[in-house]
Structure 1
Amino acid sequence: MNYGHVNLVDGIWLKGTQGHYVSVNPANRSPVGDVLGPDGHVAEQAVAAAVREFRRGQWVRNPRLRAATLNAMADAAATVSDDLVDLLISENGKLRAEAIGEVMASISELRYYAGLARDIFGRAFSGQPGQMSLIEKEPAGVCAIITPWNAPLTLLVRSLGPALAAGCTVIVKPHRATTVVSNLFMRSITSVPNLPTGVLQSLNDPDDWVGAWLVNHEDVRVISFTGSTATGAKIATSAGPRFKKLSLELGGKAPAVVMADADLDRAAREVAKGITVLSGQMCVCVSRVLVERSIADEFQHRLKITLSEIKPGPGHLPESTMGAMFDDSAVERHLANQQAAVAHLDMEILLAGKDLRGDTGGCFVTPALFSSRTTDHPLIQNELFTPMASFEIFDSPEEAVSLANASDFGLAASVHSADHNCARWVASRIDSGTVWINCHNRLFVETETGGYKSSGMGRLHGVEALLDFQETKHIYFENDYETRPQ
C-alpha cells in the first residue's frame, strides 16, 4: 500500500530531492514502503511556514479553534485506525494487541488535549492599590518533535497533543524506520478542514540530517525528543547556546522490586510482561529484577517458567506473545550481552535467549535472564533495549532502594508487595519519575511521565505536559483611580 511517503510542507506533500530509504518488515524482511527525504530548500520552507503561522495566524490566539481541530484530528485518525494497526504490525514488528493499544491511545490523547486547549488559564495579582499584575501562559514558538521507532504514534502524539493545545506550530521528524505509518497518521490528521496549513509540517529523515538541522535552526524554539540518553545529551549541548526549551524523555533501566510478601504468581506475570513488552524495546521495560532473599529461589523458578512460555512470532498471528526485534543489529546486541554476562565472574545466565532468525526468517529472539552480584557492570548500568533482565537479591527494604537507585537512570520502576505501607515507602525513595505498585507499565494520558537523572527532563502526558510548550509572561500596569483624591 503506497501512501506517498514524502514530506508535508505548508499543506502540500513534497518529494524533495535528497535521501531515500526502504522501510522493512522485521518479521519477514519484506519491504513496507519507500521513504523520500527533503532537500534543504524543502526543509527551510517547512520552518518558514511554521514561523509565518505562529507570528501572524489565528492558531496561537484561538483556543477554541485548537480544541475543535484536535477533536477533528482524533476523528480522522479513527477512520484509518485499521490501516494504522496493520502498518504498525508490519513496519514496527509489534503484536496486534500492542498495535491496537497504541492507535487507540493516540486517538484518546488527541481528545484529551482538545479539552485542555480550552482550559489554559493565567492568574492576576494586585500587590497594592492601583497596581495589577497579569500572569499569562503563551505558546513557546515553533516546535520540532523528533520521534523514535519503537512506538511511533503514541510517542508522537504525547508531544504533538500538548504542543498544539498550547498554541505552538510544529514540525514533526519521524524515525526513518517507521516513516510509513507516521506518514499515514500525519495524512489523516492534517486532512481536517479547520487546520491552518502552516501549523503542522512533517519532514522525513532517510539520510539522518534533518533532526540535527532542526535542533540547530534559529527559528525552532522548542525541541521535544524521545530517544537515547546519548542523543539527548547531544541535543542539549546543541540547543544550550540558543537557550531553547527542551522536552527530553531518554533512556531507562527500570527495576522491579519484589518483596517477600508479594503475590509471586502475579509478580512473575507482571515482571515477565514488563521484560518482553515491545520485545524489550521500550524505555520503561523491566531490565532489573530485585528480589528479597527469602523468596529468591522460588521467584526465580516462577519467573523462568513464565519467560520460557513466551512465544515470539509475527504480530498478526494470535499465538504470538512477543513480536520481532527492530533489526539484525538488535538481535546481535541481545546475543552479545549474554556473552558478556557469561564472561563475568559475578554473573550467571539463568535463562539463555535464543536466536530464532534461522527458524523464522525474521528478527526474533527469546527472552534472557541473568543473575548479578555487582552493580558496576555495563549490563547493569546501561540500557540494553532487548528482552533481557538481571536478577539481583536484597535483604531489606533499605537495600532494595539502594540497589534500585544504583544506576544513573530514573524513568520507571515497580514495587511488588502485599504491604501497602512498605511498598509506598520503597516507591517514595526510588529516584524515578514513575513507580507502579503490584503492576508494571501502566501509562495513561491523564498522568504525567518523565525521568529523573539521565532519563531526561520535562514531563509528557497530563496537564504538566503543556508546560514544556509554554512561556510564562508577566504583564504589569498601574492606574491612579484608587489613589486619586476624591
Structure 2
Amino acid sequence: MGSYNQWNKQFIAGTWREGRSDSVYEDRNPYSNEVIAKIKMATLEDIDEAYRSAEQSQMAWEEVNAFKKSEVMEKAASIMESRREEIVDLLIRETGSSFVKANVELDFCISITKEAASFPKRMGEEMVPSLVPGKENRVYRRPIGVVGIISPFNFPMYLSIRSVAPALAAGNGVVLKPDEQTAISGGLFIAKIFEEAGLPKGLLNVTVASIDEIGDGFVDHPIPRLISFTGSNKVGKHIGERCGRNMKKAALELGGNNALIVLEDADLEKSVDSAAFGSYFHNGQICMAINRIIVHQSICDKFIDKLSEKVKKITAGNPQNHENMIGPLINKEAVKRILGQIEKAKNEGAQIVLEGKIEGNVMYPYILKSDTNDVSTAKNEVFGPVTTIIPFNTEEEAIQIANDTQYGLSGAIHAGSVEKGVEIAKRIKTGMIHVNDQSVNDEPLIAFGGEKESGLGRIGGKWSLDEFTTFQWISIQNEPRDYPF
C-alpha cells in the first residue's frame, strides 16, 4: 500500500488536474513553515464543472443498490483505519495537531463514516393515513441532489467528512471546498479515500479555491440545493443570507463562547481537569472550547491556584514530538489577533493570572480573571489557548453570565448534585451542554449543533440523515373520487 500523493491537483469530474487559476497557494506546516504542497487554485469555471459533474453522477448514484452504497462507506472507513499512521502524520504536519488530537480526529472520521453506512438502508417510504376515501399516501425520503460543503482549518478532516459521508450515503452528489490552509487533510486526502473505496467518478469533487477569486460563486451556483458550512458566525450569516435569496437550504455550524460553570459543591479536582482539557485541547482552536469559566466566589481562589498549577505542566512545542499537547496556532495572524484580544481585556480591567509565552506560532496557555463578562476575552470567541475566569455568588448570577452572549453552541457544568447540574443545564441557552464534564464533546449518533448565532441545523445520527434528505409526498387515488364539479 503506497502513500497517497498528487497534492498539487484538484479533484474535479473524477480527474486529478490542476486548477485553472493563475494563483498558486503554498500549503505550509504552521510549526516549521515548510511548504508541504503548491496548489494551483480553482476558478469559477472549475467550480461550475465540479457542480455539473456532481449533478450528472448523482442521478445514477441515487439508483444504486442500498447495500452497494453502504459497502462504499464501510470501505472508506476501513481505508482510514489502515492509513492511520499516514493520516495522523499529515494532520500533525499540515494542521499543527498534537499526536493525541490527530488520533481523536481520525477516530471521529471513522465513526461518522460507519454511521453513514447505515443511511442507504434508511431511505425508505412511510405510509400515512388519508382524509380522502380510497386515497393511499406515501411519503418518500429522497436525496436533496447536490450538496456544497465548506469546511474550516481546525478539525479539517472531520469537519469535512461529517458532511461528506452522510451526504454521499444519502444518495447526493458533493462538491467540497476545504480551507486552503488545510486543503490536503480537509479535502484532497478525502477524495483519495473515496476514490479507493470505489465511489463512482464525478460524484465527489474537491475544489481548492480562494474567496478573493471566486467570491460567492460556490454558494450562489444554481445546482447545489444545500450548503453545509462550518466556520465563523460572520461568514455563516452571510452564507445563510445568500442561501435564503436563492431558496436553498443552509446547514450552519458556527462559533461558540462556551462557559464552564463550577458550582460551590463541585468536585474541585475534577472541575479543574475538565477546565484544562476543555480550554486548551488543540490550543483552544475548537468551536466547543471553554472560553469562560464561571466559578463560585467561595472556591474561586483555590480553583485558580489548582488550574494554574495544572496548566503550567502542559507541554507545548513541535507537535511531531508526541509528548507535546499544544502545538502551533494555524498562522502568525492568529497569534497577533489573540495577543490583541488579551491586551484589550487587560485595558478593560482583566487580570492576567498566568501569562503564556510565544515561540513562533506556538502560544503557551493564558489564564485571565475578570469581575465581569464584559472584557474582550469573555465577550468574544478567542479561538486560542486562553480562558477567562469569572466569579459568581448565586446560581442565578451564574446562569445570567453564561447566557450573556450571542452564541449558544456548547457548555458544561460541574456540580456535586447531578440533578441540580441538569436543572441548571436546562436553563442555559445552548445546543449542547455537559454535566460533570467539559464542553468539547462530539459523537456520531448525537444531534450536534447550536442555538442563537452558533448556527442552524443539526449534524449526527438520524439528524444528519434529515439534514441531507428531503421528502416527497406521492398519493394514489385507488377509488373514484367525488368532486364538487
TM-score normalised over the length of structure 1: 0.94
Asked whether the 8 Å contact 2:62–2:143 carries over to 1, the reply is no
Asked whether the 8 Å contact 2:282–2:325 carries over to 1, the reply is no
Asked whether the 8 Å contact 2:30–2:94 carries over to 1, the reply is yes
The farther-off stretch of 180-189 and 251-260 is 180-189
208 and 166 in structure 1: CA distance in 2 versus 1, 3 angstrom threshold: farther
The farther-off stretch of 68-77 and 369-378 is 369-378
2:397 alignment counterpart: 399
Cα displacement string for residues 355-413 of structure 1 (whole angstroms, at most 9, x for unaligned residues):
122xxxxx111111111222234432221111111111112222211111000100000
* In structure 2, distance between residues paired with 1:210 and 1:351: 43
Could you tell me which amino acid in structure 2 is paired with residue 253 of structure 1? N
Secondary structure of 2:162's aligned partner: helix
Q: Shift of the alpha carbon at 1:159? A: 0.8
Q: Does 1:433 align with 2:431?
A: yes
Cα displacement string for residues 249-300 of structure 1 (whole angstroms, at most 9, x for unaligned residues):
0000110011111111111111111111110111000000000111111111
Asked whether the 8 Å contact 1:9–1:201 carries over to 2, the reply is yes
Q: Shift of the alpha carbon at 1:191? A: 2.1
Secondary structure of 2:216's aligned partner: helix
Asked whether the 8 Å contact 2:229–2:251 carries over to 1, the reply is yes
1:309 alignment counterpart: 313
1:104 alignment counterpart: 107
* In structure 1, distance between residues paired with 2:215 and 2:458: 21
1:185 alignment counterpart: 190
* In structure 2, distance between residues paired with 1:270 and 1:423: 15
* In structure 1, distance between residues paired with 2:246 and 2:65: 28
Cα displacement string for residues 302-351 of structure 1 (whole angstroms, at most 9, x for unaligned residues):
11111222221111213212111111111112221221122113x21111
Asked whether the 8 Å contact 2:73–2:197 carries over to 1, the reply is no
* In structure 1, distance between residues paired with 2:63 and 2:258: 38
Q: Shift of the alpha carbon at 1:118? A: 0.9
Asked whether the 8 Å contact 2:43–2:209 carries over to 1, the reply is no
* In structure 2, distance between residues paired with 1:333 and 1:4: 30
* In structure 2, distance between residues paired with 1:436 and 1:197: 42
Asked whether the 8 Å contact 2:43–2:213 carries over to 1, the reply is no
1:328 alignment counterpart: 332
Q: Does 1:11 align with 2:10?
A: no
2:246 alignment counterpart: 242
Match of residue 343, structure 2, among 335, 339, 364: 339
User: Where do 1:455-466 residues align within 5 Å?
Assistant: 455-466=454-465
Q: Does 1:205 align with 2:209?
A: yes
Secondary structure of 1:58's aligned partner: helix
Q: Does 1:72 align with 2:67?
A: no
Asked whether the 8 Å contact 2:342–2:377 carries over to 1, the reply is no
Could you tell me which amino acid in structure 1 is paired with residue 26 of structure 2? V
Secondary structure of 1:118's aligned partner: helix
2:53 alignment counterpart: 49
Match of residue 385, structure 2, among 384, 387, 395: 387
Q: Shift of the alpha carbon at 1:60? A: 5.1
RMSD over aligned CA atoms reads 1.8
1:40 alignment counterpart: 44
Q: Shift of the alpha carbon at 1:477? A: 2.0
1:360 alignment counterpart: none
Secondary structure of 1:44's aligned partner: helix
Cα displacement string for residues 45-76 of structure 1 (whole angstroms, at most 9, x for unaligned residues):
2111111123x313356433321211121122
Secondary structure of 1:153's aligned partner: helix
Could you tell me which amino acid in structure 1 is paired with residue 91 of structure 2? L
The farther-off stretch of 314-323 and 432-441 is 314-323
310 and 379 in structure 1: CA distance in 2 versus 1, 3 angstrom threshold: same
* In structure 2, distance between residues paired with 1:463 and 1:5: 36
User: Where do 1:217-256 residues align within 5 Å?
Assistant: 217-256=221-260
Q: Structure 2 stretches of 5 or more lacking a match?
A: none
Could you tell me which amino acid in structure 1 is paired with residue 450 of structure 2? G
2:322 alignment counterpart: 318
Q: Shift of the alpha carbon at 1:157? A: 1.1
2:371 alignment counterpart: 373
Aligned residues: 475
Structure 1 consecutive aligned stretches of length 4 or more whose deviation exceeds 6 Å: none
Could you tell me which amino acid in structure 2 is paired with residue 175 of structure 1? D
Q: Structure 1 stretches of 5 or more lacking a match?
A: 358-362
1:275 alignment counterpart: 279
Asked whether the 8 Å contact 1:254–1:412 carries over to 2, the reply is yes
* In structure 2, distance between residues paired with 1:232 and 1:110: 25
Could you tell me which amino acid in structure 2 is paired with residue 406 of structure 1? D
Q: Shift of the alpha carbon at 1:206? A: 4.4
Secondary structure of 1:429's aligned partner: coil
The farther-off stretch of 4-13 and 399-408 is 4-13
TM-score normalised over the length of structure 2: 0.94
Q: Shift of the alpha carbon at 1:208? A: 4.5
* In structure 2, distance between residues paired with 1:328 and 1:118: 47
Secondary structure of 2:196's aligned partner: coil
2:268 alignment counterpart: 264
* In structure 1, distance between residues paired with 2:318 and 2:471: 48
264 and 290 in structure 1: CA distance in 2 versus 1, 3 angstrom threshold: same
* In structure 2, distance between residues paired with 1:400 and 1:4: 49
User: Where do 1:279-290 residues align within 5 Å?
Assistant: 279-290=283-294
User: Where do 1:80-99 residues align within 5 Å?
Assistant: 80-99=83-102
Asked whether the 8 Å contact 1:69–1:192 carries over to 2, the reply is yes
Percent of residue pairs identical: 28
Secondary structure of 1:282's aligned partner: coil
* In structure 1, distance between residues paired with 2:243 and 2:182: 26
